[in-house]
Amino acid sequence: MFSLEGMTALVTGASGGIGSEIAKALARQGARLALSGSNGGKLRSFREELNDEIGGDHVEITCDLSNSESVEELVPATIDTLGKLDILVNNAGITRDNLAMRMKDEEWEQVMTINLESTFRLMRAAARPMMKARFGRIVTITSVVGATGNPGQMNYAAAKAGVTGMTKSFAQEVASRGITANCVAPGFIRTPMTDVLPDAQKEALNQRIPMGRMGEGEDIGSAVAFLSSREADYITGQTLHVNGGMAMIS
């Protein structure tokens, strides 16, 4: 069940904490991956790790998501390398946190360019070959703050909320062609960035979560693998919240 054998996938931000777990989850189910990120050395190391640990013939494609020309080349480069594209996972994203009154224009623009605009460009590019094949899975990683808001993250919350609305619109446009488009919205997930937080801060975060703990990258990877599968064929335009109950959103 949930086998991705014979399928290909492009994962952006693939060498990051959550991105790497998404890539591993897809690879374990049999997908062949194009791993994308901006750090070529880190990406290469992860690809070698993935090939050794799980097996397969995965590839890496470096891409700067702040450069529109580079973004437009990513899907064609993936198809040139893998032969087709069945699954697109828009995972890459950045934060430039600041209170609204102090937020610089560039902090707003950088987050919008990478978190929202590049996602649009990749969805649009992926739609063409997927429509021709009459099959496709697009999964975009949003965030619980896109639904709840968060002080100091007006730019990030706006971009993630925008991705959710964009996905719903896109899902309606391509549903008749066998393409689904969904979001996964993580809550607090344990990553190398959260590992360095003081224990008191971790405890304060955990107290906000009914399950009493942060999630793991594998939790997000499993959600993405499910939505990428043929078994999720009748699910589209949805947001799957993976947050341990910290925000129970209907």
Give a yes or no: residue 111 inside a domain. yes
Give a yes or no: residue 157 inside a domain. yes
pLDDT at residue 172 in the model = 98
Give a yes or no: residue 246 inside a domain. no
Question: How many other CB atoms are found less than 10 A from the CB of residue 55?
Answer: 11
Give a yes or no: residue 249 inside a domain. no
Task: Look up the CATH number of the domain holding residue 47.
Answer: 3.40.50.720
Instruction: Domain count for the chain, please give it.
Output: 1
Name, in order, each residue with C-beta under 8 angstroms of 15's C-beta and a sequence gap of 6 or more. 35, 37, 39, 42, 43, 45, 46
pLDDT at residue 1 in the model = 63
Give a yes or no: residue 182 inside a domain. yes
Amino acid letter for position 172: Q
Catalytically active residues, by annotation: 156
The 59-62 sheet, strands edge to edge: 59-62, 32-37, 8-12, 87-90, 136-141, 179-186, 239-242
pLDDT at residue 225 in the model = 98
What would the pLDDT profile of 40-67 be if each residue is shown by its tens digit?
A: 999 999 999 999 999 889 999 999 999 9
- Terminal Cα-to-Cα distance of the chain (whole angstroms): 27
What would the pLDDT profile of 129-142 be if each residue is shown by its tens digit?
A: 999 999 999 999 99
Give a yes or no: residue 161 inside a domain. yes
Residue 189, strand partner residues? 215
pLDDT at residue 242 in the model = 97
Give a yes or no: residue 93 inside a domain. yes
Residues with pLDDT less than 70, the chain: 1, 193
Nearest CA-CA partner of 75 in 30, 19, 39, 121: 121
Nearest CA-CA partner of 159 in 95, 221, 75, 230: 95
Rama region for 115: left / alpha / beta (φ>0; ψ in -120 to 50; rest): alpha
Contact between 165 and 120 (Cβ < 8 Å)? no
pLDDT at residue 111 in the model = 97
Which residue range(s) make up the domain with 162?
8-241
Give a yes or no: residue 247 inside a domain. no
